[in-house]
Chain A
């Protein structure tokens, strides 16, 4: 990650006379290095203790606890004392008729989200970058950025109110064209559109800011020389701006695609109602219901683990592919 910064400290042991002891010195020097660092910077190690304990307790102990996915968890025996059942929970889940529905709903919802929320911020950022009028530009940025700071609960409430069949203005608006009132949230077919477009509404301004920063990092000399050569604005966007923000775009796309199976619980759960579960039930909401409402801890953990593993492989795979194709990845 920081190869260029890494200034190797002077070897503790004077450099050995070449080949003869070539294997040993680095190891001892590494150990002395550690000991010396610990002695000199014990205060830094002291600082790290509590935060590290946090990560161990709240991130790594849960990973160990996930062993209950392979057990029949009993609260009395605890995660380690419970009886092994092997892969039975997984088998039961795969055989459950709800399995394919969950996978399909989760997958389609995320793919749709990525497809919609990837290009729109780029377009907004490029458009903002094109105009010079300071005030108008600031106003657009300020307003489009604002929804990002509103909570999910509020965004979902707003969505419900605006789309409400009786009070919402969306139904008033389509009523002007003679279309009868639609109960958007009561129809499973509308769920994905509502989910995705309210998401776009909320996050476009925020995501655009990231691209705007990338755009401002482009060397103005490139634009000037393109201009002198007679490139129109559209041509400059195509040949200067787009290549310039490519690395940023790839990272964001990789993160988006890599997280395809881990789409957030909060919003789907809040938008859910008994009428639209056919499409709104995703893995995350199902885990919540199985685990906390039905108290089937082992099954819920198994489903969660299945999801986490798939997601990890997806992320690594997509990152690998992106690195191969474009030379940009998460850890380049």
Chain B
């Protein structure tokens, strides 16, 4: 890293006793520019989010007239009542919870089972195994060959298809391995061995309790990934009773297929149905994103830390 500082004008440093150096005028203008830029970024990201939430709490007629911008108009909970009484949506919600929790348990267990041995320097063959894993990040058989495997295993149209084919992420293995390697000193293992602990005992009683932060991070990564994923469901599931929320959302939001059976007769009723369908979309977006967005501010910091741990080369 070479820093060339020739040609910089020396600014007189006033009040040099103080630890902070006074900002120059150009720097002040620059900082103002930075602030304005950040405000613009904030508004650009926040406005669509607020717009969706405001619409979801408005009355169906106000939404259909396009009158809602950033604050609910004629506040109403109609859309939420409708969404929570729809059997398909509720079923999807339940399914998504099952996949997220079950999938995370399986994924975390398997990830630790391979990441821990890979972190041990005395584990012969770890470099070969690591290469085997990394290669799968670079090259894959593709959609159909994977589909054939899932089909041959008889997993098509079962809950297993949602949690097994994408059980282990190589990235998560690397994160966990790096964490184990950098926080569990070899001396600890040696001491435990002298006390008669086996490898499994050491992993269970010493490594795992010390690794709670990284376990939390990879568990959350898997859980959020499962909650948000829809591709596996799209290709492996046929039975609507097994659909996760994201597939239900796609049907309602993007394909515009209404879930409730429309046995409407009059034109007024049809119009109302149509208006309700509009506002229902906004409510569904809020409902489906809520679990993730509620936990996210609390985990964001750890999430970042975990990503950083994995990014450290080693």
C-alpha spacing A25/B10, complex, angstroms: 65
Partner of B34, one of A127, A145, A308: A127
- Cβ contact within 8 Å between A210 and B132: no
CB distance from B38 to the nearest CB of A (A): 5
Q: Contact at B227–A151, with CB atoms within 8 Å?
A: yes
Contact residues on A (Cβ < 8 Å of other chain), bracket: 35 or more
| 15 contacting pairs across A/B (C-beta < 8 A) | A2-B314, A9-B122, A43-B200, A51-B114, A55-B132, A58-B146, A58-B167, A60-B136, A66-B141, A127-B34, A151-B230, A161-B282, A239-B5, A292-B144, A301-B145
Q: Do the beta carbons of A139 and B42 come within 8 Å of each other?
A: yes
Known contacts A59-B140, A156-B254, A288-B143; can you find 15 more A-B pairs with CB under 8 A? A34-B125, A37-B122, A47-B200, A51-B168, A52-B114, A64-B145, A68-B148, A79-B148, A144-B45, A150-B289, A151-B228, A151-B230, A151-B288, A153-B253, A222-B3
Contact at A266–B230, with CB atoms within 8 Å?
yes
Q: Of A44, A54, A58, A213, which is within 8 A of B117 by CB?
A: A44
The answer on a CB contact under 8 Å between A234 and B30 is yes
> Which residue on chain B has the smallest CB distance to residue A123?
B37
Quick one: which of A55, A123, A166, A172 contacts B168, CB cutoff 8 A?
A55
Q: Which one of B9, B228, B230, B285 contacts A158 once the chains associate, using CB atoms below 8 Å?
A: B285
Does B188 count as interface, using CB distance less than 8 angstroms?
no
Assess whether B26 is in contact with A232, with CB atoms less than 8 Å apart: yes
Please name all residues of chain B whose beta carbon is closer than 8 Å to the beta carbon of A292 when the two chains form the complex: 143-144, 147, 235
Judged by a CB distance under 8 angstroms, whether A304 is at the interface is: yes
Instruction: Name the residue on B nearest A8 (C-beta).
Output: B121
Query: Contact at B145–A62, with CB atoms within 8 Å?
Result: yes
- B3 touches which of A64, A243, A265 (Cβ 8 Å): A243
- Residues of A participating in the B interface, judged by any CB pair closer than 8 Å: 1-2, 5-7, 9, 33-34, 36-38, 40-41, 43-45, 47-48, 50-52, 54-55, 57-66, 68, 79, 123-124, 127-128, 130-131, 136, 139-140, 142-147, 149-154, 156-158, 160-162, 166-169, 172, 201, 204-205, 209-210, 213, 222, 226-235, 239-240, 243-244, 265-266, 270, 287-288, 291-292, 297, 300-301, 304-305, 307-308, 312, 315, 332
Contacts of A79 in B (CB 8 A): 145, 148
Chain B, Cβ-Cβ closest to A218: B1
Q: Are A229 and B124 in contact (CB under 8 A)?
A: no
Chain A nearest Cβ from B18, distance in angstroms: 14
- B130 — which chain A residues lie within 8 A by C-beta? 1
**Distance (whole angstroms) from the CB of B209 to the closest CB of chain A:** 17
Contact of B296 among A123, A139, A149, A297 (CB under 8 A): A149
Bound complex: CA of A52 vs CA of B8, how far in Å? 58
Instruction: Mark B14-48 against chain A: 1 for CB-CB distance below 8 A, else 0.
Output: 00000001001011001100110110011011101
Main secondary structure of the interface of B (DSSP, over half): helix
**Residue in chain B with minimal CB distance to A59:** B136
Given contacts A44-B123, A229-B10, contact A136 B250 (CB under 8 A): no
A55 to B285, CA, bound (A): 35
- Neighbouring A residues of B91 by C-beta, 8 Å: none
Q: Which residues from 172 to 226 on chain B have a C-beta closer than 8 Å to any C-beta of chain A?
A: 181, 198-200, 203, 224
> How far apart are the CA atoms of A240 and B278 in the complex, in Å?
51
Q: Give which listed residue, A68, A150, A205, A288, contacts B145 with CB less than 8 A.
A: A68
Q: Does B273 contact A (CB under 8 A)?
A: no
A140 touches B41 (CB 8 A): yes
Within the complex, the shortest CB–CB distance from B112 to chain A, in Å, comes to 8
| A151 in contact with B42 (CB, 8 Å) | no
Cα separation A79 to B141 with both chains bound (whole Å)? 13
Which of A2, A157, A205, A292 has the most C-beta atoms of chain B within 10 angstroms of its own C-beta? A157
What is the CA–CA distance of A58 and B155 in the complex, to the nearest angstrom?
Answer: 12
The residue in chain B whose Cβ has the minimal distance to the Cβ of A303 is B142
Compute how far the CA of A228 lies from the CA of B16 in the bound complex, rounded to whole angstroms.
11
Instruction: List the 9 closest A-B pairs by CB distance, nearest first.
Output: A62-B141, A304-B142, A37-B124, A151-B228, A65-B145, A51-B114, A62-B145, A157-B253, A44-B117
Whether the Cβ atoms of B307 and A226 lie closer than 8 Å is no
Asked if B77 CB lies within 8 Å of chain A CBs, one says no
Query: In the complex the two chains form, is B289's CB within 8 Å of A151's CB?
Result: yes
A223 CB to nearest chain B CB (Å): 10
Complex contact A47–B113 (CB within 8 A): yes
Chain A minimum-CB-distance residue to B170? A55
**CB neighbours of B254 from chain A (8 A):** 153, 156-157, 160, 270
Given contacts A48-B114, A62-B140, contact A235 B8 (CB under 8 A): yes
Chain B residues positioned under 8 Å from A235 (CB to CB):
8
CB neighbours (8 Å) of B125 from chain A are 34, 37
Residues of B within 8 A of A52 (CB): 114, 129, 132
Q: Chain A contacts of B144 at CB under 8 A?
A: 65, 68, 287, 291-292, 297, 300-301, 304
B27 to A, closest residue via Cβ: A233
Find the A residue at minimum CB distance from B64. Answer: A167
Chain B 103-128 interface 0/1 with A at a Cβ cutoff of 8 Å (1 = within): 00000001101101100111111010
Determine the chain A residues whose CB is within 8 A of the CB of B133 once the complex forms: 55
Known interface pairs A54-B168, A233-B27; A227-B8 also in contact (CB < 8 Å): no
Q: Which A residues touch B140, using CB under 8 A?
A: 59, 62-63, 308
How distant is the Cα of A144 from the Cα of B113 in the complex, in angstroms? Answer: 35
B258: Cβ under 8 A from any A Cβ: no
CB pair A62 B38 closer than 8 Å: no
From A271, which residue of chain B is reached at the shortest CB distance?
A: B254
Contacts of A152 in B (CB 8 A): 228, 230
Q: List B contacts of A229 (CB < 8 A).
A: 5, 8, 10
CA distance A233 to B24 in the complex (A): 9
- Contact between A151 and B117, CB atoms less than 8 A apart: no
B249 lies within 8 A of chain A by Cβ: yes
Instruction: State whether B38 touches A312 (Cβ < 8 A).
Output: no
